Amino acid sequence: MSDKLSSNKKGSVLVVGGGIGGMQASLDLADSGFKVHMVQKEPSIGGTMVMLDKTFPTGDCSMCMISPKMVEVGRHLNVDIHTLAEVVSVEGEEGNFRAKIRLAPRYVDPAKCTGCGECEAQCPKKVPSEFDQQLGNRKSIYALFPQAVPNTRAIDDRYCLFLTSRKKGAKKDVCKKCEKACKAGAINYDDKGQEIEVNVGSIILAPGLDRYNAKVRGELGLGRWPNVVTSLQFERILSASGPFKGEVKRPSDDKHPKKVAWIQCVGSRDPHNANPWCSSVCCMYATKQSIIAKEHDKHIEPAIFYMDMRAFGKDFDKYVERAKNEYGVRYQRAMVSAIREDPGSGDLVLRYAAEDGSLIDETFEMVVLSIGFEPHKDAAEFAKTFGIEPNVYKFAKTSPLNPVETTRKGVFVTGTYQGPKDIPDTVMQGSAVAGEAMALLSEARGTETIKKELPPEKEVLGEEPRIGVLVCHCGINIASTVQVEQVVEAVKDLPGVVYATNTLYACSQDTQETIKQLVKEKNLNRLVVASCTPRTHEPLFQETIRDAGLNKYLFDLADIREQCSWCHMGHKEEATKKAIRIVKMAIAKSRLQEPIKTDTVGVTPACLIIGGGIAGMTAALSLADQGFQVSIVEKENELGGLVRNLYRTLEGNDVREFLASRIGQVRSHPKIKVFTGTEVRNTDGFVGNFKTTLTDGTEISHGAIILTTGGIEYEPTEYLYKESDRVVTQRELEKKIAAAEVQAGNRYVMIQCVGSREEPNQYCSRICCQDAVKNAIAIKEKDPSAQVFILYRDIRTYGLREDYYKKARELGVIFVRYDVNRKPEVAQSGNGMSVKTWDYMLNRELNIGADWVVLSAGFRPHPTTEKVGALYKVTRNPDGYFLEAHVKLRPVDFPSEGIFVAGLAHAPKNLDETITQALASAGRAGVVLSHDRLAISGIIAKHRKDLCMSCLSCFRVCPFDSPYIGEDGKVAHNEVKCHGCGICAAICPAKAFQVNNFRDDQILAMIDVAVECDTSVAGG
């Protein structure tokens, strides 16, 4: 039976949703031998992240990060994107589903459309832009945003003048301007859409989120007072490509506001007319927005009105501290009860209660509502379509121990549909679901993917350059500004050029055929296309000349659209001159181009995991189920790590049973070897080919490494810990509760943030608030006569965990806030303890007698982290946790390929988050290990030993550790690790490094041509 089942398994996966989570899952799967069908409701992929201006806590540009990923998804041979599409039904079971997808009519034929956008320019119908959150307009034929993927425009039939009038039965044709504008003939008003069926092995749900409609809370004035905007509108205001071009202005009068207020928890943490959960991200995005606003306009005075500052993520607290101290952001702990507009001025008067209870009216010039997340409006219907159970709030139902599995086998969930979360957690879940699908469908890997057959490459080395030049009109995008014929004329007789011509659309399918013919007929050995940006179009033309038998690096693209015609409109003569110059530069480089042979290296399909805690074991099981050999190295004599001290999760799951079963699975899995009481002695190698020797002398060959070295609990030195047996940690209390050692009627005082959020450990340990709430609930449920006080700084029960905070309050747990400058004082008093603290609600000191003082002790990285980090040359953040390759989009990778991280070694996190990250690391490692051979990129630095003096300059500057000391004691270069950035080439005094296709002779040739004098004046 199992054989039959396995033979039916499909090697493809349906990914529902094209946001960052769905994109990550799709890329991981498609890069590791699975066919992906991506279904996206909107006309472009991208989701919510594309609308954001910057991201916290690094201030990176959101679009700059996600746009290359979108291009990668869009161009991937094994990802089929279905936009304007919805899944209407799903049948079948794990390993073999059949899904029906309905594609709405686009009215533009993607096969013909070149994405030039001329139709959009001609369309007379303006529609409020969803992308700009109604602050700007788009056309009725539109791309969701300029970088949209696919960039085929779509006609919105709700607004199109022709389609709406035809629907009303108009006799005469109205408008049709887009059809007239489209030189490619791509407009099809008779598009009816279609329904398709796909047969897949697994389904990944990544539909993303909706945002709370803040108009429901009329007292805040959204939609009534124009200078009250939502946080997403403010993102668009901040965006340089947004409706205000990045200028912070008020919508009512374009005035630059000085005092700007953010109001937190709009639609969150509020069961009345809103959502009871915490949206997890608003505290941080408000902090980010206030910082960025201040950077855009230094006169702005930001104020954030909040209940608890939930900066629980990695380096978040430091970010908030910076906002306070360096940017002067004011954090006001208060709920705003109402906003009214000051008639005439457009200013807004906020009413709130100050800390001492007095009511204050304060005037601001602009107000931003930090609106929360919620599931899509049609979430209930969505769950029904896929046959999964939703939870009470209509998020997908999952368990903390299986955080990305839905109730239907083979259907996984990622991102905000699983619960509110930020970008890195979404990306992590994206890789985690990919890992789950890889494990489920491992035997079908590679059965449905396409590989391209290519003709042999023509030998051109030593031949004189024979360059073909193609100058593109891009409809009228280039040709209306640049005199294309003049460009052709100016370059056709340059040395090396044997043929030059112009074309209407260089990127169209028939031009690709023309190019192949030209290469043959004119015996070309180089090609230069002058059209748009190489960032999106270089791969297309490279593929074309490769199909024609030329090495793909014998191509160069001259960008005369984005960097010439589009920014010099109305300056025909100058633009044409510049275009000629740009094309001449490309030709100068092309002359010096050489074919580049790309190498491949073999991959050992095995993984080494350092650390046998829950993260290590989870990753090991996932990889072993994917079919790879796994070795776990654990320093201690038994598996389990910190989780051994845990009894129950906040949600009530039995952790001990879970741990025992996981250890059992690991121990009995034929593909997993466990080395306990062992450490790594030394290690060598690079992605795909590592060699490690353990302290017991065992040698292991492996292709990937996952570091799950874990953390330890801080051992308090404050609050009389160790001095009195009445002072315990949460962990010790949990043990007492589990052993039923708690006495009836006792009084507990819990103190939060012990060893966290204070210099030198200025970070939140993330789990302590929930731990305190968990233990408090357990005590009160067992014994309602017990009294529990929790002394806290901010309660950080983020996401759906907010329910338990509420439950604790309902059970009578008393929460008292303290300030870090006025910490509680613990003293012995008779048989018990007494705790003195200031109560900000009562405005007086409290003296609480206690039977137990319970300390919520924070996390520290495991002491071995430093050693392991040095061994693998991976960096750590100032707090000692491993630093991932990118805090947003590569949360489990290291800059060095083939090495991954999961669990507490990365940052403090919950059990479910640790499991997710472990699955993600297994997914990422699976991508590497699934290849028989890894291709080395062509654009890498080449090292010439004969020129090298081994001065070690390169050695010091390379971010990827690719130069190394060879056996002869001289510098050698590992090309597998090289990313081709060329920092080595710039610093090398002997010029022993040259980057392929960016060689110094090529760059100098381009400079010479770029600077050749146009006029007698310029050159002097």
Residues at the interface with another protein (CB under 8 A): 64, 67-68, 146-147, 241, 533-535, 559, 561-569, 571, 574-575, 577-578, 581-582, 585, 939, 957, 980-983, 985-986, 995, 998, 1000, 1003-1004, 1006-1008, 1010-1014, 1016-1020
Q: Name which of 133 and 416 has its Cβ closer to another protein.
A: 133
Q: Which of 191, 574 has the CB closer to another protein?
A: 574
Cα–Cα nearest to 76, from 539, 422, 519: 539
Nearest to 619 by CA among 921, 241, 327: 921
Q: Which is nearer to another protein, 762 or 937 (CB)?
A: 937
d(CA 730, CA 929): 41
Nearer to another protein, 914 or 996 (CB): 996
Q: Which is nearer to another protein, 350 or 528 (CB)?
A: 528
Tokens, residue 497: 């050029």
Residue with tokens 């990176």: 60
Nearest distance from residue 610's CB to another protein, in Å? 31
Edge to edge, the sheet with strand 899-901 lists 672-676, 629-634, 606-610, 704-707, 899-901
Distance in Å, CB of 876 to another protein, minimum: 23
Provide, rounded to whole angstroms, the least separation between the CB of residue 1015 and another protein.
9
Half-sphere exposure of 950 (CA within 13 A, CB side): 11
Please report how close the Cβ of residue 151 comes to another protein at its closest, in angstroms.
10
Q: Which residue number, 189 or 566, has a Cβ lying nearer to another protein?
A: 566
Minimum CB distance to another protein smaller for 764 or for 1006: 1006
**Amino acid making up residue 843:** N
Least Cβ distance, residue 1004 to another protein (angstroms): 6
Q: What is the Cα–Cα distance from 910 to 768, expressed in whole angstroms?
A: 10
Between 131 and 675, CB nearer to another protein: 131
| DSSP secondary structure string for all residues of 419-488 | S---HHHHHHHHHHHHHHHHHHTGGGTTSS------PPPPP-TTSPP-EEEEEE-TTTTTTTTS-HHHHH
Exposure string for 45-69, b = 16+ CB within 10 A, e = fewer:
bbbbbbbbbbbbbeeeebbebbbeb
Q: 730: which 2 tokens?
A: 């949460």
**Smallest distance from another protein to CB 561, Å:** 7
Nearer to another protein, 342 or 1008 (CB): 1008
CB of 45 to another protein, least distance (A): 17
User: Which of helix, strand or coil describes residue 832?
Assistant: strand
Distance in Å, CB of 889 to another protein, minimum: 13
Least spacing, CB of residue 1001 vs another protein, in Å: 11
DSSP SS3 for 349: strand
Q: Are 374 and 209 in contact (CB under 8 A)?
A: yes
Q: How far is the CB of 31 from another protein (least distance, A)?
A: 20
Q: Name the CA radius of gyration of the chain, rounded.
A: 31
Distances (CA, A) of 61 to 18, 23, 235, 242, 437: 19, 18, 11, 13, 31
The nearer residue to another protein, 377 or 535, going by C-beta atoms, is 535
Q: Which helix (H) or strand (E) covers residue 731, if one does?
A: helix 730-738
User: Given the DSSP bridges, would you call strands 629-634 and 606-610 parallel, antiparallel or unpaired?
Assistant: parallel
**Cβ-based nearer residue to another protein, 246 or 276:** 246
- Backbone dihedral angles phi then psi of residue 236, each to the nearest 5 degrees: -70, -35
Question: Which helix (H) or strand (E) covers residue 510, if one does?
Answer: helix 509-521
**Amino acid, single-letter form, for residue 196:** I
| Residue 259 vs 578, nearer CB to another protein | 578
**Separation between Cα atoms, residue 277 and residue 416, nearest integer Å:** 13
What are the strands of the beta sheet with 844-850, ordered from one edge?
825-829, 832-839, 844-850
Nearer to another protein, 559 or 634 (CB): 559
Nearer to another protein, 490 or 929 (CB): 490
Where do we find the tokens 């090289």?
978
- Closest separation in Å from C-beta 543 to another protein: 19
Nearer Cβ to another protein (851/1000): 1000
Give min distance, CB of 66 to another protein, in A: 12
- Distance between CA atoms of 514 and 470, rounded to whole angstroms? 11
Q: How far is the CB of 974 from another protein (least distance, A)?
A: 18
Yes or no: say if 528 and 465 are a contact pair by the CB < 8 Å rule: no
Least Å distance, CB 883 to another protein, is 20
Tell me the closest approach of the beta carbon of residue 305 to another protein, in angstroms.
34
The C-alpha angle 204, 702, 891, rounded to 5 degrees, equals 40
Q: Least CB distance from residue 569 to another protein, whole Å?
A: 7
- Give long-range contacts, CB 8 A cutoff, 24+ apart: 491-494: 491/580, 491/583, 491/584, 491/587, 494/584, 494/587
Q: Which C-beta is closer to another protein: that of 1 or that of 1013?
A: 1013
Nearest approach in angstroms of CB 927 to another protein is 21
Q: How far is the CB of 988 from another protein (least distance, A)?
A: 9
Q: Report strand pairing: 526-531 vs 555-559.
A: parallel
Question: Residue type at 645?
Answer: N
The torsion region of residue 776 among left (phi > 0), alpha (psi -120 to 50) and beta comes to alpha
3-state SS, residue 200: strand
- H or E stretch covering 621: helix 614-625
Nearest residue (CB) to another protein, 518 versus 995: 995
Nearest CB to another protein, comparing residues 731 and 999: 999
How many whole angstroms separate alpha carbon 685 and alpha carbon 603?
A: 12
Q: How many Å apart are CA 906 and CA 711, to the nearest integer?
A: 9
Cis peptide before 128 (omega within 30 of 0): no
